[in-house]
Amino acid sequence: MSVLVNKDSKVIVQGFTGSEGTFHAGQMIEYGTNVVGGVTPGKGGQTHLDRPVFNTVVEAVEKVGPNTSLIFVPPAFAADAIMEAAAAGIQVIICITEGIPTKDMITVKEYLSDKDCRLVGPNCPGVITPGEAKCGIMPGFVFESGRIGVVSKSGTLTYEAADQVVKAGMGISTAIGIGGDPIIGTTTKEAVELLMNDPETDAIIMIGEIGGQLEADAAHWIKANGTKPVVGFIAGQTAPKGRTMGHAGAIVGGEDDTAEAKMRILSECGIHVVASPAKIGSKMAELMGVSA
């Protein structure tokens, strides 16, 4: 099996006809992802990228039966787009949109609490199962199929880790970019748990950053439940306290939010922590007995 997306995923794109949706949907189709249509209110009945356009997600579900949605809707409308997908029965909702107001995401989290779906993001690069489905904005050519899972708050570090893993003679089972906003759908712990339970994943790379408790929560879960080796990296080791760095959620509010404190917690929980992102691939190769 794979995690979240695979060759059987039937994908729609919300914000399909906009510039971002058009570009990345085209890239996804070229990669081989099964994009079955898209949603742009007011443009239903048209064809775009040789796929049908629908006015609503409900209509798309009725006509082409998607189970996954990619959201490229502008920030002011993205929360409604997420909730629309959930209400229509979409199982995996991946929101790429950056800059959604935190207040809107509070509403989304509450709305999704009793829905049978999983949200990834917002402000994330998406999810990729190499050779099967690319659902997001990541450069597909970097990823090759293998048995190393990746969970990351950072898009660029996801690509960097994947490139190192491939160059070290291994490959990626599924890479999950969870996003760097203060309120997100799938947490680090939840993403790690998915990969830990995936029989086609042998080891996990966990990339975090300053701010919040997501990495610490994941580390404690790994200590109690982990069955596979985990390589960890925390970005933001030189970040000043009290300043947002890159992602809206990357702000040091207390002693446990610093990169140093997180690295210590991860190490104490049995995670193999590297001080530089340049060491991610070689450390994983060492743990897997592969000559890098």
- The answer to whether residues 94 and 24 belong to one domain is yes
Q: Would residue 129 count as lying in a domain?
A: no
212 has a pLDDT exceeding 90: no
Residues linked to residue 206 through DSSP beta bridges, in sequence order: 151, 232
Half-sphere exposure of 163 (CA within 13 A, CB side): 13
Question: CATH number, domain at 218?
Answer: 3.40.50.261
Average pLDDT over residues 183-196: 98
Final residue of a structural domain among 93, 120, 147: 120
245 has a pLDDT exceeding 60: no
> Tell me, what's the pLDDT at 194?
98
Contacts of 149 (CB under 8 A, 6+ apart): 3, 172, 173, 174, 175, 176, 195, 198, 201, 203, 204, 205
Q: What is the largest CA-CA distance in the chain?
A: 56
Output the DSSP codes for 93-162. EEE------HHHHHHHHHHHTTSS-EEE-SS--EEEETTTEEEESS-GGG--EEEEEEEES-HHHHHHHH
239 has a pLDDT exceeding 70: no
> Tell me, what's the pLDDT at 291?
75
- The answer to whether residues 93 and 146 belong to one domain is no
- The answer to whether residues 217 and 91 belong to one domain is no
- The answer to whether residues 23 and 91 belong to one domain is yes
Q: How many domains are contained in the chain?
A: 2
Q: Would residue 132 count as lying in a domain?
A: no
Q: Would residue 128 count as lying in a domain?
A: no
**Identified catalytic residue from 24, 48, 247, 272:** 247
Distance CA 129, CA 27 (A): 15
Q: Residue 184 — very low, low, confident or very high, per pLDDT cuts 50/70/90?
A: very high
Final residue of a structural domain among 120, 146, 164: 120
Residues 71-85 have pLDDT tens digits of 999 999 999 999 999
Are the C-beta atoms of residues 56 and 45 closer than 8 Å to each other? no
Residues 15-48 have pLDDT tens digits of 999 999 999 999 999 999 999 999 999 999 999 9
- The answer to whether residues 228 and 172 belong to one domain is yes
Q: Would residue 5 count as lying in a domain?
A: no
Q: Would residue 125 count as lying in a domain?
A: no
- The answer to whether residues 94 and 171 belong to one domain is no
> Tell me, what's the pLDDT at 258?
77
Residues 93-140 have pLDDT tens digits of 999 999 999 999 999 999 999 999 999 999 999 999 999 999 999 999
Question: What's the domain range around 262?
Answer: 138-288
Average pLDDT over residues 234-245: 65
Q: Residue 259 — very low, low, confident or very high, per pLDDT cuts 50/70/90?
A: confident
- The answer to whether residues 143 and 111 belong to one domain is no
* Percent residues over pLDDT 70 in the chain: 92
Q: Residue 197 — very low, low, confident or very high, per pLDDT cuts 50/70/90?
A: very high
Distance CA 231, CA 193 (A): 15
Q: Would residue 150 count as lying in a domain?
A: yes
- The answer to whether residues 263 and 170 belong to one domain is yes
> Tell me, what's the pLDDT at 252?
52
Distance CA 87, CA 101 (A): 21
Active site residue 220: no
* Percent residues over pLDDT 90 in the chain: 87
Phi/psi for 43 (5° steps) reads -115, 15
Q: Would residue 176 count as lying in a domain?
A: yes
- The answer to whether residues 87 and 164 belong to one domain is no
- The answer to whether residues 108 and 214 belong to one domain is no
Residues 268-284 have pLDDT tens digits of 999 999 999 999 999 99
- The answer to whether residues 15 and 78 belong to one domain is yes
- The answer to whether residues 116 and 143 belong to one domain is no
Q: Would residue 193 count as lying in a domain?
A: yes
Final residue of a structural domain among 72, 92, 120: 120
Question: CATH number, domain at 43?
Answer: 3.40.50.720
